[in-house]
Structure formats: structure tokens, C-alpha cells
Amino acid sequence: MIENTQVIINKSKSRSENKDFNFSKDQIRITSSEVINSYRDKAWESFSKTFIPTIKDDPWRRTDLRMLKVDRFELATSNDSTKKDTIPSNLLKPLADGEHGGQILISGNDVRSYLDPALEGQGVIFTDLLTAELKYPQLVEKIIGKIVEPSEGKFAAMTGALAQNGVFLYVPKNITIESPLHSLIWGSTIDFANTTHVMVYLEGGASVTYVHEVASDTETNGQSLQSSNIEMYVGPGSSLRFVELQSWGRHVWNFTHERVNVDRNGSVDWIFGAIGGHLTKNFAELNLIADGASGKMSGFYFTDQDQHLDYDSQQNHLAPHTTSDLLFKGALVEKSRSVWQGMIYVAPGADKTDGYQANRNLLLSRDARADSIPGLEILADDVRCTHGATVGKIDADQIFYLMARGIPRLEAERLIVEGFFDPIMQRIPFEGVRERFQQSITDKMKAYTG
Amino acid sequence: MTELIVRNLHVSIEGKEILKGLNLTLPKGEVHAIMGPNGTGKSTLAYTLMGHPAYEVTEGEILFKDQNVLELEPNERSILGIFLAFQYPVGIPGVTVANFIRSAINARRRALNPQDKGIQLLEFRKQVKEKMELLQMDPAFAGRYLNDGFSGGEKKRAEILQMAMLKPEIAILDETDSGLDIDALKIVSEGVNTLKGPDLGVLVITHYQRILNYIKPDVVHVMMDGRIVESGGSELALHLEEHGYEWIREKVNGLG
């Protein structure tokens, strides 16, 4: 593989007119919890004070929102035409061996949820946000706004104030959940904004695998907006495996603020897969907040046509003896574009930490472009941190070699792309999830004709 | 017509002519060797037969099974029955040896029958196991990424394994002996010898006579400056080993 590191920086453009969303404060859902209510009021304050980010704002330098028709969006309500029966059956298939321990399907206002009664008996809560607010406000209070703050950005504030739904997972102390939990948010209607707040709270000594999936059909002639906050806490000695799959339709503009705080000797295995959407801006952050915490972040993306995918990742070593390992791999065809900007931060005194980050991109078309920008900020003395970023093309000699064995050119390219992603596939413990990714590679390579 | 015919082949790379009117006929069932000093165009011939896009054919023809080979893509040539064992096999990270060979077999089956569902996994495993034993390869080898971090000997064995699995009718071995110690050379040669038969023509391209001790050629050609300048029986190889290429050069120049 020919590899070149390239860093391309856009020229700044002037701020466009300050269009804003037409939402109002009375759209905030009032709950019985003062804590939740005041969090939302505060979020609203942030939301109404901040502008839509422009390419002059540092993390947005490579992602331009000027074409986003913000003033057209309504908050998705019961008018939303999305129906539950449109969920394709292949998305409901178990992603792991055997059955799900629980499943939540959210499609517009329609919510269906299931949790294994045995888990329910152990005190596990896996439900949609509205139910959680009603039935378990004191548990929601433990985490809401504690991990992702509304002041972090326009979209974080918007979701914080107006979240229409979401998922709430709570795992009590020393509970191990064997079968994975699955949630699916389906549908994204034109001219509607959808806001989703996901919270995961693991008490000490707990263990769970949770697959969170967002998807929709592609609609033409319009835009839809998705904004989500994902807040996670992994208690002492707990382990969380969190798999996110994003396959929004091509009309969706998608914004995510997500962060996990990992406590003493806890670990998170965080897997990202993104193949959909028109434009995505994602802030993903791993906070290793106490001694011995560790986290692994594995990303898979494959963009085509005019898709734009922008990931900001942050690995924060805030305590000694913490370990992080990030590998993001992406393939790009046609005129698509990806951005990955990563940062490993090691706080003063966070000695004996080990941080790794790598981003590898494979460009399959001349017009595709990947920007890959690693970063380190190390304020401790005794640490080991390494990083790597590459943007490469398929080697013509690899293609010739495969063709010399009878394999047609496009299939040869597909094999090479699959091989490129193999190190990520190896990190995914579920056949079902791997198959989902393999299928997306096959589909995208089929549509692409060289 | 069951022979590979090369007629008056002229090939340039980046505008420089390397092959200058090469003629060669390789019938199935025979082993031919092409020997010659470095830089005479031996590997150019190998790549051109397989259809490498960097090699431009300016004149001449290549025919096999009534087909104009020059009009075919490399994958079509492979399916027609031509196989090249590469001198420098390329690494394909992330693609295992087994997955790769299976893809190649299935591509072949689909080319012959678009409805084909591909080789059964069990049948495939059985075949690979059998051929790997023949080449004294560790079964774990099938699960390794193709040519990725392979030693020189492993790469050459993997080439012959592919040849055994794909069952070509014309096999071109491009400097298969280079980088092999004597034990590996024996194993690889034995592998080739097992595959030999009335349905396979072999073209052994080599700089040294050594490999011809193990793979006995029916005909030896000497290549110089982009042409075949001398052909003979296997004794010609021994003669070259003893006397070098100088006497041929003088003979050619004398004639010229």
C-alpha cells in the first residue's frame, strides 16, 4: 500500500447569516425531577445563546454547515410520518450469537421495548428515555448532564434541552449481563429534527454489551437532522462493550456528542461503525478518570457519493496507569470526504499511562479526500504514547496480482478493501455485526464502478 | 491448437524497447526453460504473457487455444489457463491465503458458469490440505495474510500452492529458484513435478541452471537482448553452466 500522510487545511470563509432553529422553550418536556428540569433549562440557555457553528470555529474547520436549512426544521412529533412497520427485518435480527437480553425499538413516537425478566429481577433497567424519566428519575439524575455538558456546543445543548427520546441503561453493582442489549432508532423524516439522549450507567463490578444502532431509509429532496448526546459512566472494575452502528439515509445531517467516563480499573471497548448520512460531525471522548482505567476505540467507516464524515476523538488520561488504544479505519469512494482529528491528552501526574492512536484511510477514487490529523498533548513525564495517520491508495501491483489469478478487477478491489478492514473486524466480537459491516462493504463496492 | 505461441513479440516499458521480436512455441506436456543473463528481458516476457499494464506490446502476437491473448485482461488470461508464479509476490494484508485461493477458484467457476455458487467449503478445505501436505506446508499457513511477512521460501511455496489449486495449462515460473535454499528448492520443484503432465506446459525462467537439475526441461532456450538466440535440449543448460553466456554472445554477434 502506498501511504502518504496528508494534512489539508481549508481556507477560512466568512460567517454566513446567523440563521437559527425555530424551536421554543415551551417544547422542553417537564418532568417530576427538579434536577432534570433545571438541567434542561440550563441547556436551553446554552442553546439559545450559541450560533450554528461555522468553519471559523476550530473543531468545525473542515465541516461546513452553510447548506443546512436550519430554519426549516420542526421538532419531530406525532406528525412525524415514520412508522414502526417500516423497520427492515434485517435490522431486527440478533447481532450476536443467540438472543438479545433486551431490545428497544424507537421509531417516531412508537416505542417497543423488551428486557429479559431475569435481568429486570436483578434491577437492570433498559428502557426508553421517557419511561426512565417517569419511573426512575432518581437514577437519571445520577448521570444526566454529568458527562456531556450542554455548553459544549450548539447541538449538545439542543439535545440536552429538547431530547424527544433516547435510551436509558442502568446496571446495578456486580451484575454481569451475558446476552447483548440492542437498541434501534429508526427513521428520519425530511424537515424534522430528531434529538436523542442516550445514557448508560454501570455501577461497580458490572459488565454488559450494548449495541446501539441508528438507521433510516434515504429520502430525496430535503434534509433531516439527527442530534444525539451519549453519556456513559463505567463504574470501578466494570466493563462496558458499546457498539454503535450508524446507517442513516443520505438526506440526514447527523451530530453526536458522546463521552464515557471510566472509573478505577474499569474498561470500555467502544466500536463505531458509520456508513450512512449526508454529513456527520461526531465528538467522541474517552475519559480515563481513575487509576487502572482502560479504553479501546475502534472505528470503521466507508463513505461514497458526496458523504461527509468528520470524527473528533479524544483520549484523556486523567489518572496514572491508564491505557487507551484507538484504531479508526476508513475507505472512501467517489467524491466523499472524511476527517479524523484525534488527540491523546495526558494530564499532569497521570504517569505510567499508555496511549495509542492510529487512523488509516484508503482512497479508492481520485476525487475522494481524507484528512487525518493526530495529536498528542502530554503533561506527565513517565508515559508511552504513539500515533500514526495514513492516507493511501490501492497499489496497482496488488490489483495485477489478484487479477493474474482470475479475479476480476472490481472483485480484486473489494478483496483488498475487505483486507484493509480486517484488523477492525478482528476487534468486533459479534458475527452479526461483522456481517453487517461486510455487507455494507459489498454494497458500496457494488455501487462503485472504479 | 494446444500450444502457447509467441510471434515476433516487441514490448516496451516507458518507451524503451525490451523485447525485440521474440518467438516461442510452448506445447502442453512439455517443460521449456528460458535462460539468459540479467537484463535480457526474461521477466518482461513473463509479465507480458500475463498482461501487466505497464508493458506495452508494440508488435507481434500471443496465441493460446485459438485466442488472441493480447486482447485479454490478466484475469481472462488466468481463466484461459495461463499462470504466472511471480518472482516477487505482492503482500495483500488482511486477506488470508485460504480466502484468496477460494476467491480465485470461485472467480474461475463463475467465469465458466455465471450461476455457479462457488466451491463447497469442505471440498475446498480438503483440496488445500492435500496440496499443502504435498508442499510440506504447515496447515496454519492457510490462515495467514497472503505474502504478508512471508519469508522468501514461503512466498515461493505459496505460489506453487496456488498453481496446484488453480490447475493451469500453461505455467510460467519466473525465477522461482531465486532466494530459495536447496531444501526449499527441492520441495518447490517436487511440487511442480507432481503437477506436470500432458495437460500442462511449463516455462521455467531462470538465471541459473540449478533449478533445472530438479525440473528437467525438454527444451532450453537462451535469451539475449530481447530475443531467443539459441535453443537446444537439456544439455544446453549444462553447457551454459560450464561455459557461461559469452560464447553465445560471440556466435550471435558473428552471425549479426
Segment 104-123 of chain B within 8 Å of chain A by CB = 104, 107-108, 111
pLDDT higher at A84 or A333: A333
ipTM: 0.96
Q: Give one DSSP letter per residue of A329-356, joined into a string.
A: EEEE-TT-EEEEEEEEEE-TT--SEEEE
Q: Is the pLDDT of residue A334 over 80?
A: yes
Pairwise CA distance, residues A392 & A363, whole Å: 6
Share of chain B above pLDDT 70, in %: 99
DSSP 8-state secondary structure symbol assigned to residue A176: B
Residue-range domain boundaries for chain B: 3-255
Q: Is B103 on the interface with A (CB under 8 A)?
A: yes
Residue A450, pLDDT score: 61
Q: Which residue has the higher pLDDT, A62 or A439?
A: A62
Domain count, chain A: 1
Confidence of residue B23 (pLDDT cuts 50, 70, 90): very high
d(CA A160, CA A148): 9
Which range of residues forms the domain containing residue A92? 2-8+18-447
- Cβ-Cβ contacts under 8 Å, A412 against chain B: 75
Q: How far is A447 from chain B (nearest CA, A)?
A: 19
Q: Which pLDDT value is given to residue A91?
A: 81
In a domain? residue A335: yes
Banded model confidence at residue A436, pLDDT cuts 50, 70, 90: confident
Neighbours of A22 (CB within 10 A): 12
The DSSP output letter for A235 is -
* Cβ within 8 Å, pair A421-B94: yes
Interchain CB contact of B138 with A (< 8 Å): no
Rg (CA), chain B: 18
Nearest residue to A215 via CA among A446, A23, A436, A427:
A436
pLDDT of residue B252: 83
The Cα B140–Cα B131 span in angstroms is 14
Is residue A13 in some structural domain? no
Residues of chain A with pLDDT > 70: what percent? 92
Question: What is the pTM (predicted TM-score) of this model?
Answer: 0.88
Distance from CA of A411 to the nearest CA of B (A): 9
State which residue of chain A sits closest to B146, comparing Cα positions. A419
Q: What residue type is assigned to position B178 of the chain?
A: S
DSSP class of A384: E
Using CA atoms, how far residue A149 sits from A58, A153, A248, in Å, is 18, 8, 25
User: Distance (Å, rounded) from C-alpha B170 to C-alpha B50?
Assistant: 11
pLDDT-derived band of residue A431, with 50, 70 and 90 as boundaries?
confident
Give the contacts of A416 (CB within 8 A, at least 6 positions apart).
Answer: A394, A398, A399, A402, B92, B94, B95
Residue A104 near residue A167 (C-beta atoms within 8 A): yes
Which CATH number is associated with domain B3-255?
Answer: 3.40.50.300
Q: What is the pLDDT of residues A4-38, one digit of tens each?
A: 445 554 444 444 456 899 999 999 999 999 999 99
Q: Which residues of A touch B50 (CB under 8 A)?
A: 400, 404
pLDDT digits (tens, 9 = 90+) for B107-122: 999 999 999 999 999 9
- Judged against a pLDDT cut of 90, whether residue B150 lies above it is answered with yes
The b/e string for A60-75 (b: 16+ C-beta within 10 A; e otherwise) is bbbbbbeebebebbeb
Q: How far is A67 from chain B (nearest CA, A)?
A: 39
CA dihedral A123, A128, A134, A137 (to 10 degrees): 60
How close are the terminal C-alpha atoms of chain B, in Å?
A: 33
How far the first Cα of chain A sits from its last, in Å, is 18
> Which DSSP letter does residue A54 get?
-
The amino acid at B164: A
Q: Residue A2: pLDDT above 60?
A: no
**Whether the Cβ atoms of residue B82 and residue B64 lie closer than 8 Å to each other:** yes
Residue A156 near residue A186, CB atoms below 8 Å = no
Q: What is the mean pLDDT of residues A430-434?
A: 83
Read off the C-alpha cell for A436: 453487517
pLDDT single digits (tens) A139-192: 999 999 999 999 999 999 999 999 999 999 999 999 999 999 999 999 999 999
Query: Residues with Cβ < 8 Å from A369, sequence gap 6 or more?
Result: A8, A332, A336, A337, A338, A363
> Are the Cβ atoms of B75 and A408 closer than 8 angstroms?
yes
Whether residue B22 has pLDDT greater than 50: yes
Mean pLDDT of A264-270: 98
- Kindly determine whether residue B166 and residue A406, on different chains, have CB atoms separated by under 8 Å: yes
Helix (H, G, I), strand (E, B) or coil at A145: coil
Q: How far apart are CA A375 and CA B55, in angstroms?
A: 43
* Average pLDDT of chain A, as a whole number: 92
3-state SS, one letter per residue, for B115-132:
CCCCCCHHHHHHHHHHHH
Average pLDDT estimate for B147-159: 94
What was the pLDDT predicted at A97? 61
Mean pLDDT, chain B, integer: 94
Q: What is the dihedral of CA B189, B191, B192, B197, to 10 degrees?
A: 130
Question: Residue A307: what residue type?
Answer: Q
User: What φ, ψ does residue A19 adopt, rounded to 5°?
Assistant: -70, 150
**pLDDT of amino acid A276:** 95
Q: Which helix (H) or strand (E) holds A43?
A: helix A34-49
User: A65-102: per-residue pLDDT in tens?
Assistant: 999 999 999 998 644 555 445 788 878 776 666 678 99
C-alpha cell at A113: 421495548
Taking any CB pair shorter than 8 Å as contact, residues of chain A touching chain B are 1, 395-398, 400-409, 411-412, 415-416, 418-423
Residue A439 pLDDT exceeds 50: yes
Burial class (CB in 10 A: 0-12, 13-18, 19+), A433: buried
Identify the pLDDT of residue A152. 95
Check whether B233 has a pLDDT greater than 60: yes
Asked whether residue B1 carries a pLDDT value surpassing 60, the answer given is no
Return d(Cα A320, Cα B179) in angstroms, integer.
Answer: 49
- Please give, rounded to a whole number of angstroms, the shortest distance from the CA of A399 to a CA of chain B: 10
